[in-house]
Structure 1
Amino acid sequence: MRGLADRTWSLLNQVLDAYSDSPRATHWLRGHLARFSEPVRLAVAGPPGSGRTTLVTALGQQPELNLLDAPPIEADPEPGAMERLCMESDAVLYLMGHPHNADLAFLRAMQDHPVARAAPVASLAVLARADELGGGRVDAVVSARQVARRYRRDAELGPLCQDVVAVAGLAASAAQTFGEADFETLAALASVPKEELEPLLLSVDRFAGEPAREELLSRFGLFGVRLATMLLRRGADTPAALATQLLQRTGLTELREAIGLYFTDRAPVLKARSALMGIEVVLRMEPRPAAAPLVAELERILAGAHEFRELRLLSALRAGRARLPDELREEAIRLIGGHGSDPGARLGVGASGPEVADAAAGAVRLWREYAENPVLGAAERRAASVVIRSCEGLLTGH
């Protein structure tokens, strides 16, 4: 059996042939063909003031990503706006504060498309002003991470996204564009005696007043200034060392890891999902009797897309929404691609064919025993069945 990307590519070309007499459909479908060879399109979306542009700057341009700063999502978006956002991108970072009903409505709207409902695997929720959630304290992101962990397990929010990640966007953006002048200004500030500096850092009004300080506030925010001065006093005594620690402490490293795990490492799966959405639009908007077999093939691909089930299980296991015994959880995450998607990484062996085949056969036997264990509940057995299918794919090379 061919993989999802191969089956989608084949169907895309079949639909292109069937609609060769429709300029609009042809243009649309060729665009999706071209996207298979492009970087992953990642839209950064959220309400006004959520920090979209700041986070785009923080993430920086990367060869494997095409970052899109989406227009702000208003409280009452026009019909179809969220579907268009999802059609124009392969994945979405949705920025929010404390999630509320409007955020849940937006995330649900991202799944209005039939393919998106069948494969809700292309969004990350980002608490993008994590420093504000934690009151601007130097440990604010630590507190915000605890909030994010709680939301990952939330019965309403959890199923609507792959993960919830906390990041202090403004400080992260400053760390990403950190320079020698920033370091010298912050180092001079950190050299001020604590009894003099700490009262100034209690509020923006107290700290502002001098051009250099106001520039720091505009770039780092009060949280970033507090964090940077603390790190300087603890030994981050070079621009590179300070920038590295700022990136880690602001949550940007964790966000990049989540983007890699769920999006860039699964680029062929997400591009296939985008193409399937595009195919569905053509078949729905320009129906014709000769396209009936193509509709049936689209439905077969969606029904058999094990790659989507892997991504959902990976998200559920990492978030704690799906549970397996401790000795099984980490192995399941590895086998479904949580530590790398190539066969050797999944099976924990070298890349040679015989090694992979032997390890895959052993994993199939072991997980079948787990799935038949009466001690496991129904949800655990369902999770085990996904792992078994992954191992069978590794065994057969598909």
Structure 2
Amino acid sequence: MMDSGIAGASDLLRQAREIFRHDAVALAVVEELEGRLEGPLRVAVAGMVKAGKSTLLNAIIGEEIAPTDAGECTRIVTWYRYGHTPRITLHPVIGEPLALPVTREDGRLVFSLGDVRPEDVERLVVDWPATSLRELTLIDTPGIASLSQDVSGRSAEFLLPEDAPMAADAVIYLMRHLHASDVRFLESFKDTAAGQSGTVNALAVLSRADEIGAGRIDSLISAAVIADRYSRDQNLRPLALGVVPVAGLLAQSSRAMRQTDFEAMKVLALMDRNQRERLMLSADLFVRASEPAGLTPEAKAFLVQRFGLFGIRLGVALIRGGISNPTELAHELARRSGLGQLLQNIASLFQTRADALKTRAAVVGLEALLRGSPRDTVLPLEAGLERLQAGAHEFRELKLLGTLRTTGLSLTPELSAEAEQLVGGHGSTPQLRLGLDPGATPEQISEAARNAFNRWRLIAENPLTEPAALDACRVVLRSCEGMLAAIPAVR
């Protein structure tokens, strides 16, 4: 439904390739931008130390391939992308890329740098045949505000470049609570060159949500209330598109549920309720206790390591409620972990506008390249960039979305909220823009889009509407027109 910004960016990159055909350094930049435009959307996973980044990344991918311990590889920026065969490539700061052995222990991928020091590694690239990586490249970053300035600096350099597009198109930012340091990072992220369009392209995750309620079975209900409050926080709202509570450990383990996990929980489900609750007052007590007879301390320790007390309690409750097989239990645990809501948000907020986010990165990269080049050489490109940014509707939507969430407009709160939704602030599908059910018919979409168009046309025609708000009306009207034009293609 949008103007073809990505096609315009591709044309500009082809022109740039011709202009810089004798400049090897500039050509390398152009090739990188072309690859980025054609490749999957890049989403970085960031957050403070111990926020649970690798655990959540495993949950999103659906396999345990990201290291979750405090080892050397968690100090390195690591890319996870789709590949037909498993492969790990180490890119050193100096020298040629090096292939690392692919080894698995107890179902998990194990990284070993060999004799290479982490500080000498620019990045690791893990190619993996996971379906979830076909349209989404995930980038794990070292913890921000690490005790090690070197580790923290690596993330800052990767996520907050001074004069270049960020290597990721969007960010999933994990936090255990809302601290001033979280707000500072997100403010810095928005102020990068890649954010100069005024876009908001970060999604916050209240990670380790099960710990908020001390592992009680209703912990995620408490976490959802807190996440909702954070999403409306005046400091955070301009910086993130939403806040999603996720029990990361449960999300990861439920995606890799084993028969032995199910059998162990089934044994616990058969215990007397009072006896089981006394047993699970703490992880240490649970592991050391002699009961139940069917589980060894080693098996219980493994269960705690994989699911935590919250996951065990929830799994047992679901089995007692009638779930009778590992597959059904895995699906229900994943749903209740908050993972489904997170994946839905990634799809609706990022993947549906992937072309716009990738095009923006290409534009920022070209702008940086042109700043360091003789002006007479690049004048045609400068003019093309200006036309692209002025004419591509997706850029105007992103800019309006940023304005609505930051400085605001002279519109009523209700109209501002409606404008935000219509330009894709809750997701870019017509159904999400119009507040309809996912299964809405083309006729329902057409009627809702036409009603929205007529409503905003009246606002635009009102002589009391201020100029800045009038510009916003025009963007909203164009979005409604785009939805109406796309009706025949809606299924």
- Range into which the TM-score falls when normalised by the shorter chain: 0.7 to 0.9
Q: Give the match for residue 82 of structure 1.
A: 159
1:190 Cα shift?
Answer: 1.4
Q: Give the match for residue 71 of structure 1.
A: 142
Measure, in 1, the Cα distance between the counterparts of 2:467 and 2:314.
47
**What letter corresponds to residue 13 of structure 1 in structure 2?**
R
Structure 1 residues 12 and 121 mapped into 2: Cα distance closer, same or farther (>3 Å)?
farther
Measure, in 2, the Cα distance between the counterparts of 1:243 and 1:147.
26
Which deviations, in whole Å up to 9, do the C-alpha atoms of 1:199-218 show, x marking residues without a partner? 12221221122111110111
Q: Give the match for residue 302 of structure 2.
A: 215
Moved more, 193-202 or 60-69: 60-69
Moved more, 185-194 or 374-383: 374-383
Matched residue SS, 1:118: coil
Structure 1 residues 336 and 46 mapped into 2: Cα distance closer, same or farther (>3 Å)?
closer
Measure, in 1, the Cα distance between the counterparts of 2:355 and 2:303.
41
Query: 5 Å matches for 1:246-325?
Result: 246-286=333-373, 288-310=375-397
1:143 maps to 2:256: no
1:230 Cα shift?
Answer: 1.5
Measure, in 1, the Cα distance between the counterparts of 2:431 and 2:218.
39
State which of 181, 185, 189 in structure 2 corresponds to 1:106.
Answer: 185
Measure, in 1, the Cα distance between the counterparts of 2:51 and 2:431.
39
Which deviations, in whole Å up to 9, do the C-alpha atoms of 1:15-36 show, x marking residues without a partner? 2322222212211211221222
Q: Give the match for residue 80 of structure 2.
A: none
Contact preservation (8 Å) 1:261, 1:338: yes
Contact preservation (8 Å) 1:317, 1:333: no
Moved more, 38-47 or 208-217: 38-47
Q: Give the match for residue 208 of structure 2.
A: 129
Matched residue SS, 1:98: coil
Structure 1 residues 203 and 373 mapped into 2: Cα distance closer, same or farther (>3 Å)?
farther
1:124 Cα shift?
Answer: 1.0
Q: Give the match for residue 25 of structure 2.
A: 24
State which of 326, 339, 353 in structure 2 corresponds to 1:239.
Answer: 326
Which deviations, in whole Å up to 9, do the C-alpha atoms of 1:121-177 show, x marking residues without a partner? 322111111112232221212211221111212222111122211101001101011
Moved more, 134-143 or 208-217: 134-143
Measure, in 1, the Cα distance between the counterparts of 2:57 and 2:276.
32
Moved more, 133-142 or 219-228: 133-142
Measure, in 1, the Cα distance between the counterparts of 2:386 and 2:452.
30
Q: Give the match for residue 97 of structure 2.
A: none
Measure, in 1, the Cα distance between the counterparts of 2:144 and 2:425.
33
State which of 256, 277, 289 in structure 2 corresponds to 1:198.
Answer: 277
State which of 453, 456, 459 in structure 2 corresponds to 1:364.
Answer: 453
Contact preservation (8 Å) 2:424, 2:433: no
Which deviations, in whole Å up to 9, do the C-alpha atoms of 1:192-250 show, x marking residues without a partner? 11111001222122112211111011111111111111121122222122111111111
Measure, in 2, the Cα distance between the counterparts of 1:145 and 1:344.
21
1:394 Cα shift?
Answer: 4.6
Structure 1 residues 195 and 396 mapped into 2: Cα distance closer, same or farther (>3 Å)?
closer
Contact preservation (8 Å) 1:52, 1:69: yes
Q: Give the match for residue 119 of structure 2.
A: none
1:182 Cα shift?
Answer: 0.9
Q: TM-score normalized by structure 1?
A: 0.84
1:93 Cα shift?
Answer: 0.9
Contact preservation (8 Å) 2:41, 2:351: yes
Measure, in 2, the Cα distance between the counterparts of 1:234 and 1:376.
57
Q: Give the match for residue 48 of structure 1.
A: 49
Structure 1 residues 120 and 135 mapped into 2: Cα distance closer, same or farther (>3 Å)?
farther
Matched residue SS, 1:125: strand
Structure 1 residues 366 and 175 mapped into 2: Cα distance closer, same or farther (>3 Å)?
same
**What letter corresponds to residue 246 of structure 1 in structure 2?**
L
Measure, in 2, the Cα distance between the counterparts of 1:396 and 1:253.
31
Measure, in 1, the Cα distance between the counterparts of 2:387 and 2:214.
50
1:89 Cα shift?
Answer: 1.6
Segments of structure 1 that go 5 or more residues without pairing to the other structure are: none
The structure whose residues are more often strand, as a share, is: 2
The structure whose residues are more often helix, as a share, is: 1
1:187 Cα shift?
Answer: 1.1
Structure 1 residues 164 and 296 mapped into 2: Cα distance closer, same or farther (>3 Å)?
farther
1:333 Cα shift?
Answer: 3.6
**What letter corresponds to residue 388 of structure 1 in structure 2?**
L
Matched residue SS, 1:126: strand
1:327 Cα shift?
Answer: 10
Segments of structure 2 that go 5 or more residues without pairing to the other structure are: 62-129, 289-296, 487-491
Contact preservation (8 Å) 1:119, 1:308: no
1:116 maps to 2:179: no
Which deviations, in whole Å up to 9, do the C-alpha atoms of 1:10-64 show, x marking residues without a partner? 2222223222222122112112212223221222122221111111110114122
Q: Give the match for residue 93 of structure 2.
A: none
Structure 1 residues 326 and 180 mapped into 2: Cα distance closer, same or farther (>3 Å)?
farther
RMSD across aligned C-alpha pairs, in angstroms?
A: 3.7
